[in-house]
Amino acid sequence: MMNYIKRYLGIIWMLLALVAGYYLLVSQAIPQFESGKPDDLVPAIIYTFVLMPIISGGLFVFGWYAWKGEYDEA
C-alpha cells in the first residue's frame, strides 16, 4: 500500500517541478529581463540558468525515481 502512495506522489513531484519552473521563469525572470534596469539582469540570469534547472531538475528526477519504484520497500 505504501509503495503505491510513493508512486502516486512521484507524479505529484514531477508536476510540482513543472509548476516551479514555470513560476521561476514567468514570475521572476521575465519581469526582470523586461525591466530594462542593468541591476535586474544578473538576478534574471541566475533565476533562468542556475536556479530553474537545479530546482526543477531535482524535483523531476526525485519524482521520476519515485514513480518508477526506486524507493519501494522489498
pLDDT score recorded for residue 36: 84
Query: Contact 29/48 with Cβ under 8 angstroms?
Result: yes
pLDDT score recorded for residue 38: 87
**Count of Cβ atoms closer than 10 Å to residue 9 Cβ:** 16
Residue 74 reports pLDDT greater than 80: no
pLDDT grade, residue 1 (50/70/90)? confident
DSSP assignment of 41-52 equals HHHHHHIIIIIH
Q: How far apart are CA 71 and CA 37, in angstroms?
A: 46
Q: What is the pLDDT of residues 12-68, one digit of tens each?
A: 999 999 999 999 999 999 999 999 888 989 999 999 999 999 999 999 999 999 999
Q: How far is CA 36 from CA 3, 31, 32, 68, 70, in A?
A: 50, 9, 8, 44, 46
Total-model pTM: 0.84
